[in-house]
Amino acid sequence: MSSHANTTLWQVLAEDLLEAEDITNSKPLLAHYTSIQTIELMLRNDEIWLSNPLNMNDHQEVVGGLGFAMQALTESEKLRSAFDKPDEYRD
């Protein structure tokens, strides 16, 4: 995936966070638990790494998260257009 596609995808996923005045009173589309140093590396290297959901220990979180992700991917034109190539979106 290109640098542009990574940036665009990140912007789409974090869009609701940028508009939120108080994150404690809103539900973000994407929640990521990491350190500031890791976020810095993600931005510096233009990379986003995701863990295999099968390694998670909360079955309900895995099932719910995967269901939500599939729904978002199939229904969001913004997410679809964030990818440079149709085959990257399908993958």
Res 45 pLDDT > 70: yes
**Rounded Cα distance, 67 and 61, in Å:** 10
pLDDT for the residue 16: 63
**Rounded Cα distance, 1 and 47, in Å:** 10
What's the number of domains the chain is made of?
1
**Rounded Cα distance, 62 and 89, in Å:** 21
Closest CA to 5 of 76, 91, 90, 88: 88
Higher-confidence position of 72 and 24: 72
What's the whole-number mean pLDDT along residues 23-45? 72
**Rounded Cα distance, 81 and 73, in Å:** 11
Q: Which of 36-40, 59-63, 82-86 has the lowest mean pLDDT?
A: 59-63
Phi-psi label, residue 46: left if phi above 0, alpha if psi -120 to 50, beta otherwise: left
Model confidence over 10-23: pLDDT tens digits? 777 777 666 655 65
Domain, as residue range, for 67: 3-90
Higher-confidence position of 67 and 30: 67
